[in-house]
Amino acid sequence: MRTRNGLSLLALAGGMALTAAAGTGTARADLLVGVAGPMTGQYASFGEQLRQGTEAAIADINAKGGVNGQKLVMTVGDDVCDPRQAVSVANQFAKSGVAFVNGHFCSGSTLPASEIYNEEGIPEITVSSNPKITERGFKSLFRITGRDDQQGAVIADHIARTMAGKKVALVHDKSAFGKGLVDNVREALKAHKITPEFEEAITAGERDYSALVAKLASAGVEAVAFGGYHTELGLILRQITDAGKKIAFISGDPSATTELWSIAGPAAEGLLFTFPPDPRKMPGAAETAKRFRDKGIEPEGYVLYSYAAVQAFADAVAKGKASDGKTVAKTLHEQGADTILGPVKFDAKGDNVVPGYVVYRWSNGTFDYLK
């Protein structure tokens, strides 16, 4: 056993950990809330964002008496953004009797794991953006952020508006998210009559992207739409700078982590990326964001979206006066939820009715809306 932020963590098979939520005073949950994502590995910063949001929401809900007299307890599943591990996590969650799942993060993990939650009738709210996730008719699956067809359109529109006439290339990491995002960017570019110079696939986890850098340079590429995660993108940006080249990049939501700047350093200056509206700027989330900062945590990226996902579950339990999966899902579909993001409504597929994407820019180690 070890402790982390004052909470005991018990390692379980399949990359699992059970966490007693702060303030419950019990090791056994009335309502077990699972949070799943890459808690270790190269994408662990995003798993940490999901965990931090879940942990804080549970603590706040329990401090107010819980839901319908029941307290919440958190259980953490580490899928390392690996589909096989995600299935293991999902099976463990189901076996443990979780009432709700907040996750997963990587689309490649969410797709197979959600099959299990659907079979077991376990409500799930995810931030994964691959459109296929909500196209399968699962009644208990919801998405609190947007889809890659929406995100891809915003990227394509920005390219058409600000990079007209420039040579553009598409690069992805072969993942369900990365390739899916680039596929949607490519389709959206067609509406603007823009044909990329070429499309290149990289292998995630590699360290040397000099061949890609050389290909971009030799083709005279001036802008790249990138589908993938911050770890590879940070290395690519740094190697482009080291080669003395200047190529503009616009990427997707995984660039919303300060870890990207830790990898790329000043080479990330000016990097553009799309992400949902920053909840830290929303009036309803201001107090919650401040409490995170008071604890030394900057609630960037998905922290507050994760918090809102747990709120949505708790709100549905309260409104429906029941915690069974069928009632929770029915309530979310029919009534939506009240959260720090404001009222959240879901369509028949489980997608957020008003997700939205905004273009951000990295500068001096921080990111903000593109002015």
Model confidence at 190: pLDDT above 50: yes
**Token pair of 318 as six digits:** 């309260």
Give residues with Cβ within 8 angstroms of 97, minimum separation 6.
32
> What are the tens digits of pLDDT across the range 38-76?
999 999 999 999 999 999 999 999 999 999 999 999 999
**Token pair of 85 as six digits:** 């591990």
Query: Which domains does the chain possess?
Result: 2-146+280-344 (3.40.50.2300), 148-275 (3.40.50.2300)
| Residue carrying structure tokens 């309502």 | 31
> What are the tens digits of pLDDT across the range 67-82?
999 999 999 999 999 9
Stated pTM of the model: 0.91
Q: Does residue 210 sit in helix, strand or coil? A: helix
| β-sheet bridge partners, residue 224 | 169, 249
Model confidence at 14: pLDDT above 60: no
The mean per-residue pLDDT over the stretch 338-354 comes to 97
Model confidence at 20: pLDDT above 70: no
Q: Whose CA is closest to 193, among 155, 156, 151, 247? A: 156
The mean per-residue pLDDT over the stretch 180-196 comes to 97
pLDDT: is 340 or 26 the higher one? Answer: 340
**Token pair of 290 as six digits:** 């401040």
Share of the chain above pLDDT 70, in %: 92
Please, what is the average pLDDT of the chain? 92
| Residue carrying structure tokens 């690996």 | 82
Model confidence at 319: pLDDT above 60: yes
